[in-house]
C-alpha cells in the first residue's frame, strides 16, 4: 500500500453525524471507531468517534474524529493533514522532517490500536499526523 495524504477534520461531538453526512454526499465505505472500543469504555466520551475514515468510489479518503476532552476545538482551525500507510521507512522519514523545528504533540510510537502513530505541528504551524500500519 502506498502512503496517502488525507484531510483529517476535528469535530465537537458530532463526528458520527458529520461523517455519515459526507458518506451520503460522496458515497463509499465508512468505518467508525469509538473511544470506548479503544480502551475507554467507561469514559463519558466512550460513544464518541476516536477515528472515522470514509473511502469513496472516486478515490477520496476523508478522516475525522471528535475532539478529545481537554483538547481545544477551534472551528476554522480544525483540519490536520494525515499521512498513513505501511511503508514505515518512508513515513518515518516524513515524520522526522515534518517535526524538525516544530512541536511534537504525540511521539511517534506504537499505539493501543497496533499501529505506530505520532502527531506534530510543523515549523509553519500546520498540524500533521503520521500513522504507520504494520505491513501485511
Closest listed residue to residue 35, CA positions, set 81, 62, 78, 69: 69
- Write out the residue range of the structural domain in which residue 42 sits: 4-132
Residues 83 and 64: their CA atoms lie apart, in Å, by: 13
Question: What is the CATH number for 17?
Answer: 3.10.180.10
- pTM exceeding 0.85: no
Residue 3: φ, ψ to 5° = -65, 150
Number of structural domains (the chain) is 1
For each of the chain's 136 residues, which pLDDT tens digit applies? 678 888 888 888 999 999 998 999 888 999 999 999 988 788 888 999 999 999 988 788 999 999 988 888 887 777 888 888 899 998 999 999 999 999 999 999 999 999 999 999 988 787 889 999 998 7
Amino acid at each position: 500500500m502506498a502512503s496517502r495524504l488525507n484531510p483529517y477534520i476535528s469535530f465537537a461531538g458530532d463526528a458520527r453525524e458529520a461523517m455519515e453526512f459526507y458518506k451520503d454526499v460522496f458515497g463509499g465505505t465508512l468505518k467508525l471507531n469509538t473511544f470506548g472500543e479503544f480502551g475507554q469504555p467507561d469514559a463519558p466520551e466512550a460513544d464518541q468517534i476516536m477515528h472515522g475514515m470514509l473511502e469513496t468510489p472516486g478515490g477520496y479518503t476523508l478522516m475525522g474524529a471528535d475532539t478529545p476532552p481537554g483538547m481545544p476545538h477551534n472551528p476554522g482551525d480544525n483540519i490536520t493533514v494525515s499521512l498513513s500507510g505501511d511503508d514505515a521507512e518512508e513515513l518515518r522519514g516524513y515524520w522526522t522532517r515534518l517535526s524538525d523545528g516544530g512541536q511534537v504533540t504525540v511521539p511517534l510510537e506504537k499505539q493501543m490500536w497496533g499501529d505506530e502513530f505520532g502527531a506534530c505541528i510543523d515549523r509553519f504551524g500546520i498540524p500533521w499526523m503520521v500513522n504507520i500500519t504494520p505491513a501485511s
